[in-house]
C-alpha cells in the first residue's frame, strides 16, 4: 500500500499527485510515439498523407473511447487499481510494434497501445479527489502537465531512431513503462471515501450528458486538447515538409509548441482558481484565433506587373522563426485552456468528476483522432500545408461564438437578478 512513513493525508495527496503526473507523462509519451516513428514508417511503406494521418491518429481513437468507461470505473472502484491495470495492458503490444512490418499491423497494435490515452480520465479524477475545492484547479493543472510527455517523445525518440532505428523506440518505451508501473504502485494510495459512485448505476452516471453545459465544455476541449494532440502528432512532419529540416531538428522545433503547452497547464489551473474558468477560457480563445489567423496564410509569392514592364515579385510568407513564435503562443494558450475547462468541471460536477472528465476527455481525444486524418485528407486535396491551421481557425471561431452567446446570456441574467435584488432592498 505504498511507503508507510508517509502517513498524513496531505503527504499521501502530494505523493499521489507526483506519481500520477509521472505516470501520465510516460503514458502520453507512448500515446504520441507515432508522431516520430511514423515518419520513417511512412517512407518505408510509401504512405499517402491521409494514410499517415490515420497511422498517427489510430492510438488516439482507443485512448479517447476508453476515457469514458475508465472514468466511470474510477468513480466506482478508485483510481489506483484502474490506473495500474491500464498501464499493464499496453506493455506487450508496445513491445510488438518494433517487430511489425505491415500497415495493418501498425494500425492494430496502435489501437491496443492507444489505451495509454485513457490514463488522463483516471488520473484527473483520482487526483482531484485528494484535494479541496480551492486547490483542485492547481492540482489538476500539475497533473495535466503530464501532456509534456509529448515533448519527451520529441527529445528521445528522434535520437533513438537515428542511432538504432525506429524499431528500438517502442522497445525502450516498453521497458521504461515497466519501471514506471512499479514506482507508481509504491507511491500511491487509495481512500475508500473517494468511491462516490460505488452504488450508482451506469445509467445514473451517464445522466450528466443531459446537461447542455457539458456539451459546451466538450466542444472547447475538443479544440484546446484535441488540437494540441493533433499538432503534437503533425508538427514534426510539417517542419520537414514546409521548411526542409531533418527529423531531429524538426522534432526539437515542434517541442517548442509541445513542452510549454504541457508544463504551463499547472499555471493555467492556478489562474482558473484565482480569476475563474470563464475569463481564462475567453482569453484563450481570442489568443488562439489571432495566432491561427497568421499561421493559416500559405507560403505565397505575389507577382506584380510594374510600369517599367518588368515583374516585381514579393514573398508573402512566415519565416520559420515568426511561425514558431506564433506556434509557441498557441501552445501556451491551449495549455491554459486545457486547465480552465477542467476547472469548470471540478466546480460544477464535484461528485461525479470521473464520469464527466471521461466524457469531456473523450471529446478532446476524438478531436485528437479526427483532426490528423482531416489534416492528411485536406493536404492531399489542396496540396497546401497550412490548410491545417485554416481548419483550426474555423473551429476556434465557432468556439468563440458559442461562448459569447452562452456565457454572455448567463452573465446578463445574473446582472438582471442582481439589479432586481438591489431594487427590492
CATH number, domain of 246, equals 1.20.1250.20
SS3 197: coil
Instruction: Give a yes or no: residue 4 inside a domain.
Output: no
By residue count, the chain amounts to 425
In a domain, 1, yes or no: no
Q: Encode pLDDT of 47-59 as tens digits.
A: 999 999 999 999 9
- What do you get for the CA distance between the two ends of the chain, in Å? 57
Ranges 226-235, 347-356, 398-407, 413-422: which has the least confidence: 413-422
| Residue at 3 is within a domain | no
- Is 283 in contact with 189 (CB distance < 8 Å)? no
Place of cell 504520441: 32
pTM above 0.85, yes or no: no
pLDDT tens sequence across 68-124: 888 888 878 888 999 999 999 999 999 999 999 999 999 999 999 999 988 988 888
Burial of 271 (0-12, 13-18, 19+ CB in 10 A): buried
Distance CA(384)–CA(381), nearest Å, equals 8
Residue 24, in any domain of the structure: yes
199: pLDDT strictly greater than 60: no
**Beta strands 300-305 and 311-316: pairing type?**
antiparallel
Q: How far is CA 372 from the centre of its chain?
A: 13
- Strand partners of residue 315: 301
Task: List residues bridging with 172 in a β-sheet.
Answer: none
Q: Is residue 2 part of a domain?
A: no
Cβ(62)–Cβ(112) under 8 Å?
yes
**Residue 2's pLDDT is what?**
44
- Is residue 256 included in any domain, yes or no? yes
The Cα-based distances of 112 to 57, 92, 338 in angstroms read 13, 9, 25
323: domain range? 9-302+312-424
Cell of 310: 518588368
d(CA 332, CA 262): 8
Q: Return the axis-axis angle of helices 353-382 and 49-65, rounded to nearest 10°.
A: 170
Count CA atoms within 13 Å of residue 48 on its CB side. Answer: 12
- Residue 180: pLDDT band (50, 70, 90) is very high
What confidence score (pLDDT) does residue 76 get? 80
Q: 307 lies in a domain?
A: no
Name the CA dihedral angle for 348, 354, 357, 360, rounded to a multiple of 10 degrees. Answer: -100
CB atoms within 10 A of CB 1: 9
DSSP E strands: which ranges in 204-324? 300-305, 311-316
Which is it for the CA torsion 198, 180, 350, 71, positive or negative? Answer: negative
Query: Who's near 241: CB < 8 A, 6+ residues apart?
Result: 385
Q: How many domains does the chain have?
A: 1
Kindly report the average pLDDT of the chain as a whole number: 85
Amino acid at each position: 500500500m505504498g511507503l508507510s512513513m508517509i502517513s498524513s493525508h496531505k503527504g499521501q495527496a502530494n505523493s499521489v499527485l507526483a506519481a500520477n503526473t509521472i505516470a501520465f507523462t510516460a503514458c502520453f509519451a507512448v500515446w504520441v510515439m507515432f508522431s516520430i516513428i511514423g515518419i520513417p514508417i511512412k517512407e518505408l511503406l510509401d504512405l499517402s498523407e491521409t494514410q499517415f494521418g490515420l497511422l498517427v491518429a489510430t492510438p488516439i481513437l482507443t485512448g479517447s473511447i476508453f476515457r469514458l468507461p475508465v472514468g466511470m470505473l474510477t468513480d466506482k472502484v478508485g483510481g489506483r487499481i484502474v490506473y495500474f491495470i491500464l498501464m499493464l495492458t499496453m506493455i506487450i503490444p508496445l513491445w510488438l510494434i518494433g517487430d511489425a512490418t505491415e500497415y495493418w499491423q501498425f494500425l492494430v497494435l496502435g489501437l491496443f497501445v492507444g489505451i495509454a490515452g485513457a490514463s488522463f480520465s483516471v488520473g484527473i479524477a483520482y487526483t482531484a479527489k485528494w484535494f479541496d475545492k480551492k486547490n483542485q484547479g492547481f492540482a489538476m493543472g500539475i497533473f495535466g502537465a503530464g501532456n509534456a510527455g509529448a515533448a519527451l517523445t520529441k527529445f528521445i525518440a528522434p535520437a533513438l531512431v537515428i542511432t538504432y532505428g525506429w524499431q528500438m523506440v517502442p522497445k525502450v518505451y516498453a521497458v521504461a513503462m515497466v519501471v514506471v508501473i512499479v514506482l507508481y504502485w509504491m507511491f500511491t494510495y487509495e481512500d475508500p471515501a473517494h468511491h462516490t459512485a460505488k452504488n450508482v448505476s451506469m445509467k445514473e452516471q451517464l445522466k450528466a450528458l443531459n446537461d447542455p453545459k457539458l456539451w459546451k465544455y466538450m466542444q472547447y476541449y475538443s479544440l484546446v486538447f484535441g488540437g494540441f494532440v493533433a499538432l503534437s502528432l503533425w508538427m514534426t512532419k510539417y517542419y520537414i515538409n514546409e521548411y526542409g529540416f531533418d527529423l531531429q531538428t524538426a522534432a526539437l522545433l515542434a517541442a517548442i509548441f509541445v513542452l510549454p503547452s504541457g508544463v504551463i497547464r499547472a499555471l493555467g489551473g492556478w489562474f482558473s482558481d484565482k480569476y475563474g474558468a470563464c475569463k481564462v477560457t475567453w482569453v484563450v480563445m481570442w489568443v488562439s484565433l489571432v495566432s491561427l489567423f497568421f499561421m493559416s496564410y500559405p507560403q505565397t509569392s505575389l507577382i506584380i506587373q510594374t510600369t517599367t514592364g518588368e515583374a516585381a515579385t514579393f514573398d508573402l510568407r512566415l519565416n520559420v522563426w515568426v511561425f514558431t513564435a506564433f506556434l509557441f503562443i498557441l501552445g501556451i494558450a491551449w495549455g491554459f485552456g486545457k486547465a480552465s475547462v477542467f476547472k469548470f468541471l471540478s466546480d460544477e460536477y464535484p461528485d461525479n468528476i470521473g464520469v464527466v472528465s471521461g466524457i469531456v476527455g473523450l471529446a478532446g481525444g476524438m478531436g485528437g483522432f479526427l483532426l490528423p486524418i482531416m489534416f492528411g485528407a485536406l493536404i492531399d486535396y489542396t496540396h497546401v500545408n497550412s490548410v491545417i491551421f485554416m481548419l483550426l481557425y474555423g473551429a476556434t471561431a465557432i468556439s468563440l461564438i458559442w461562448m459569447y452567446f452562452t456565457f454572455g446570456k448567463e452573465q446578463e441574467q445574473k446582472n438582471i437578478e442582481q439589479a432586481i435584488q438591489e431594487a427590492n432592498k
